[in-house]
Copies of this chain bind each other. A is one copy, B any other.
Amino acid sequence: MSDVIQTIAQEIADCLAQVSPAEVGAAVELLNSAPRVFVSGAGRSALGIRGFGMRLMHLGVTTHVVGETTTPGIASGDLLVIGSGSGRTASLLSSAQKAKSLGAKVLLVTIDPASPIGELADATIRIPAPSPKASGGGAQQVTIQPMGSLFEQSLFLLLDGLIVMLMQKRGIGSDEMFTRHANME
Chain A interface SS verdict (over half): helix
Q: Are B9 and A99 in contact (CB under 8 A)?
A: no
**How far is B182's CA from A90's CA once the two chains are assembled, in angstroms?**
14
Q: Are A70 and B66 in contact (CB under 8 A)?
A: no
**How far is B152's CA from A42's CA once the two chains are assembled, in angstroms?**
20
A44 interface hit (Cβ, 8 Å): yes
A positions within 8 Å CB-CB of B: 1-2, 4-6, 8-10, 12-13, 16-17, 19, 21, 24-25, 28, 38, 40, 42-44, 47-48, 50-51, 53-58, 63-74, 80, 89-91, 94-95, 98-99, 102, 144-147, 149, 152-153, 156-158, 160-161, 163-165, 167-168, 173-174, 177-185
